Amino acid sequence: MKLVPLADRVILKQIAAEEKTKGGIILTSAAQEKPQIYEVIAVGPGGVVDGNEVKMSVKIGDKIITGKYTGTQVKIDEDELTIVKQDEILAIVQ
């Protein structure tokens, strides 16, 4: 199944959590904190949203940061994805 975002929506996949601390301690999956860094896997076309023209600033492959409780989580073919509006993206990681 393939998701195609509409308007100013962006589909994200969370980057895997660190399995080791900087000191070398291996963390169990329960102790791993989920990072707020995602990879963009699909971008909507932009267009006019609420009467304002929206130009998309992110592209597929970008690493971005969102708010902790942002977006809608969906599970597609064993992948856990998040759908957000572009204005919910806080920064692009370079």
For the stretch 32-71, pLDDT in tens is 456 689 999 999 999 888 888 989 999 999 999 998 889 9
- CATH, residue 15: 2.30.33.40
Q: Has residue 2 been placed in a domain?
A: no
Q: Has residue 4 been placed in a domain?
A: no
Q: Has residue 54 been placed in a domain?
A: yes
Q: Has residue 46 been placed in a domain?
A: yes
For residue 20, give Cα distances in angstroms to 38, 47, 63, 77. Answer: 19, 43, 21, 28
- Local confidence band at 15 (pLDDT 50, 70, 90 cut-offs): confident
Q: Has residue 3 been placed in a domain?
A: no
**pTM score, two decimals?**
0.80
User: Which pLDDT score is estimated for 49?
Assistant: 80
Domain that holds residue 38: 9-93
Residue 31 zone, left/alpha/beta (φ > 0; ψ -120 to 50; rest): alpha
d(CA 4, CA 58): 15
- Output DSSP code: residue 26: B
Token couple for 58: 């992110």
In total, how many domains does the chain have?
A: 1
User: Which pLDDT score is estimated for 23?
Assistant: 75
- Local confidence band at 29 (pLDDT 50, 70, 90 cut-offs): low
